């Protein structure tokens, strides 16, 4: 009965009549397990327990809703519920991304459903879209803003010229970011969600450990302004693409053209862009977090599960969109084999021939330059900005090592990936 | 086997393997009824017939897919299929909007499903989102760009300063607009789709005849430019809102703030913005027409129906989202009772006191002015542009009659509605 638990309880109470009009049946909260009461909820005569495992064994309960978050005790609760023949609805992306393969296997064994729409992009029904709405398609790629805190920080940095640390502090005060913001800022939360989306899109097992993850902590105000001047915006994206040799699975700051709808998703809002071979590009936008937006997805899952109570397994949509026996062993590509374009920023000594050395290093590795710009000088050092065309990340890693070794380049080369996302 | 029929056939052939991976079963095209072959399709050994009713009575067929369009013979085909115990998938918005109540009643009687995701916004799974993804919500309102031809015309008018007639001609040459563009340009196609979305959102019977419909034929290049200068864009929207006394159901050109995602949906693309009480605003974007985008939705429906073959009626999602016995008699509001803001443009004699007469008329009817602007003069006539705050349309009708009666106002007052759409 934390934020999402309270929201779910309140939505079920407030909209119970509308839900019954839709489903022809009443959804009853048979028991609530809570460590402490949520002051936002009027529990009335609801049966409560301070033993969370009580709900997993309560014979009156058909569906256990897990809204604890984190790995434990959530995992034990979910597995106990499954073993007791109960369907499970959860908003727990970390649990699904990391332990989903095991949890879904247990659910198949016990012939129950585990639903997790609320785990990705809050109230946006993106899991339903991928599992059902786009089921006719071979998915080519998807890209999403799937962490509201990160997007809030980048939006403030751009709109108000503020620094990362300053905005992060405000996000924590506003309650958007946790006291420990690591999961948001370092991209781990986004990687959990992307891992799930990628499995749903391509029919591969969940492989959180294979997800490349880079946070937004290294994005400077200078990069935000440079991107803007070049007609781009920096967004923290999760990207997954089906390439010839495998699946790309990566979370990182990304320059995208300012005209794209994704570039215009501001503040704490989320959006996911999915490109299918038949449908082309489609986009899903909404609140990615918060009590009631997340509850909207939790309750939609409850309704789906309740409507399907008693269905045989082959009338259900598979947990990971594809039949469990049909998951593909298409590998997740290592980052060195991912092809993308780059924004590079470096400090060069202001003297003739330095740019020639840099462009020579790029050219020798087959890296074409889209644009190059030398900005106003600071003492005898000048910032150089380069936009490249698409190249294998391995080639770029190699080029950056060589550029950083140049005597006339000082410090590290900043590298931010660039995606066109033209569906 | 027209455009969408051919697309559906090709998607089923090309992605059959991927679909079987998802559903655990094979979808077989048992028979195709066609007037003439579609050169885009390799029919192989597919059983074809030139009698469209053959598929409705063929005992080998579980699901009849109606992709003829229009009212007849589509209606007779669908009803014949239903009476023969076959499930139906259709992309026919005109048929559902106008005859849906009758068709769904027949489907209930014969215990079959009629699915129509492709009828609204092409490949965007908006019907699934409203029926299932947002089922926990009381929907407050929805607004959509749901006719690609209209949006293409308005986009070209804005981007290139072109005139309506000129762009319409090009749209016809490109195949976006029909030879008879009435349904697109006059908003009838959008009204069909909005009628369906409104029933799904609010649980009311389909009431196409009650939909207020205004096309884009009266939008001038001058209005497009004025809107732009005021920070707005003109989009042809379908809007449905739950008000205290009933449901708004209206299709018309609309000024919306240029920062809204809907204002940035260009060309033939569609998007629908839905505001729910728990989830807040969510948006769904994608291709609203075309062979394969529409086929994507048709095939998704086929997959849903096939997965649910043999399900009892109470495990199915109701055709109009709400249980048929629970549809509400909340009335559709007449336009005079709709509250919205307005953009007004009129030609005034350039002399003192004219603006005072106009603003007096507005003030007397409780209409507040947000902005007023007198543009550069043409001879002794000057265009006057007024943005008002929200007011009942009945009051505005009354005010416009009074303004047009002023001796110093020549011709008609142009009126375009303004919506903030801030979710």
The Cα B186–Cα B183 span in angstroms is: 6
**Structural domains in chain A plus CATH codes:** 3-125+291-326 (3.40.50.720), 126-286 (3.30.360.10), 335-418 (3.30.70.260)
CB contacts < 8 A, A to B, total: 231
In angstroms, what CA-CA distances link B404 with A11, B344, B361? 50, 12, 11
pLDDT at B252: 98
The Cα A17–Cα B284 span in angstroms is: 26
Give per-residue pLDDT as tens, A47-80. Answer: 999 999 999 999 999 999 999 999 999 999 999 9
| Whether A264 and B265 lie within 8 Å, measured CB to CB | no
Cβ-Cβ contacts under 8 Å, B268 against chain A? none
This model of the complex carries an ipTM of: 0.96
Nearest C-alpha in A relative to B283: A285
pLDDT at A332: 98
pLDDT at B171: 85
| Whether B15 and A137 lie within 8 Å, measured CB to CB | yes
β-pairing verdict for A339-349 and A409-418:
antiparallel
Contact call for residues A287 and A268 (beta carbons, < 8 A) = yes
pLDDT at A20: 95
pLDDT at B423: 59
| Whether A326 and B24 lie within 8 Å, measured CB to CB | yes
Of B18, B123, B278, the CB nearest to A296: B278
| Whether A322 and B264 lie within 8 Å, measured CB to CB | no
pLDDT at A423: 60
Percent of chain A with pLDDT over 70: 99
pLDDT at A310: 81
The Cα B297–Cα B159 span in angstroms is: 31
pLDDT of residue A239 exceeding 70: yes
Give per-residue pLDDT as tens, A289-306. Answer: 999 999 999 999 999 999
pLDDT of residue A178 exceeding 80: no
Residue B185 Cα, gap to closest chain A Cα (Å): 24
In angstroms, what CA-CA distances link B65 with A118, B223, B389? 33, 43, 47
The Cα B34–Cα B43 span in angstroms is: 11
- The dihedral over CA atoms of A320, A323, A326, A331, expressed in degrees to the nearest 10, equals 0
Quick one: pLDDT band at residue A219, thresholds 50, 70, 90? very high
pLDDT at A90: 98
Give per-residue pLDDT as tens, A127-136. Answer: 999 999 999 9
Contact call for residues B53 and B269 (beta carbons, < 8 A) = no
Cβ-Cβ contacts under 8 Å, B22 against chain A? 135, 203, 318, 321-323, 326
Give per-residue pLDDT as tens, A358-409. Answer: 999 999 999 999 999 987 766 788 999 999 999 999 999 999 999 999 999 9
pLDDT at A174: 82
Spans in chain B with pLDDT lower than 70 = 377-378, 423
Is the backbone peptide bond immediately before B73 cis, with ω within 30 degrees of 0? yes
The Cα B386–Cα B391 span in angstroms is: 14
Give per-residue pLDDT as tens, A254-269. Answer: 999 999 999 999 999 9
Instruction: Bin B20: left if φ > 0, else alpha if -120 < ψ < 50, else beta.
Output: alpha
pLDDT of residue A416 exceeding 80: yes
Cβ-Cβ contacts under 8 Å, A124 against chain B? 282
Place of tokens 């059983």: B47
Is the backbone peptide bond immediately before A73 cis, with ω within 30 degrees of 0? yes
């Amino acid at each position: 009965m934390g934020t999402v638990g309270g929201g779910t309880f309140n939505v079920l109470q407030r909209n119970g009549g509308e839900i019954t009009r839709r489903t022809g049946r009443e959804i009853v909260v048979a028991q609530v397990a809570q460590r402490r009461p949520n002051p936002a909820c009027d529990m009335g005569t609801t049966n409560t327990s301070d033993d969370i495992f009580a709900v997993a064994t309560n014979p009156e309960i058909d569906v256990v809703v897990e809204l604890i978050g984190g790995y434990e005790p959530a995992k034990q609760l979910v597995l106990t519920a499954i073993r007791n023949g109960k369907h499970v609805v959860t908003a727990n992306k970390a649990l699904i991304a990391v332990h989903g393969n095991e949890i879904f296997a247990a659910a198949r064994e016990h012939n129950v459903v585990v639903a997790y729409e609320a785990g990705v992009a809050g109230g946006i029904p993106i899991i339903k879209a991928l599992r059902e709405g786009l089921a006719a398609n071979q998915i080519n790629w998807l890209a999403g803003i799937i962490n509201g805190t990160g997007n809030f920080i980048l939006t403030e940095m751009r709109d108000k010229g503020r620094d990362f640390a300053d905005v992060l502090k405000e996000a924590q005060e506003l309650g958007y970011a946790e006291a420990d913001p690591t999961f948001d800022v370092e991209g781990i939360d986004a990687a959990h969600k992307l891992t799930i989306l990628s499995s749903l899109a391509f029919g591969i097992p969940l492989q959180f450990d294979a997800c490349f993850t880079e946070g937004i902590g290294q994005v400077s105000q200078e990069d935000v302004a440079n991107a803007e001047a070049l007609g781009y915006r920096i967004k923290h994206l999760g990207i997954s693409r089906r390439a010839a040799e495998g699946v790309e699975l990566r979370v990182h700051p990304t320059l995208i053209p300012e005209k794209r709808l994704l570039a215009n998703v501001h503040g704490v809002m989320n959006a996911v862009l999915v490109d299918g071979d038949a449908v082309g590009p489609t986009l899903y936008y909404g609140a990615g977090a918060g009590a009631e937006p997340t509850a909207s997805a939790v309750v939609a899952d409850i309704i789906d599960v309740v409507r399907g109570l008693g269905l045989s397994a082959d009338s259900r949509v598979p947990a990971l969109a594809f039949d469990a026996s049909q998951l593909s062993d298409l590998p997740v590509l290592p980052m060195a084999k991912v092809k993308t374009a780059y924004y590079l920023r470096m400090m060069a000594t202001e003297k003739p021939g330095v740019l020639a050395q840099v462009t020579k290093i790029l050219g020798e590795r087959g890296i074409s330059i889209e644009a190059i710009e030398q900005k106003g000088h600071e003492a005898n050092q000048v910032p150089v900005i380069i936009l490249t065309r698409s190249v294998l990340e391995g080639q770029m890693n190699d080029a950056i090592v060589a550029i950083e070794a140049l005597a006339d380049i000082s410090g590290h080369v900043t590298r931010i990936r660039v995606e066109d996302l033209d569906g």
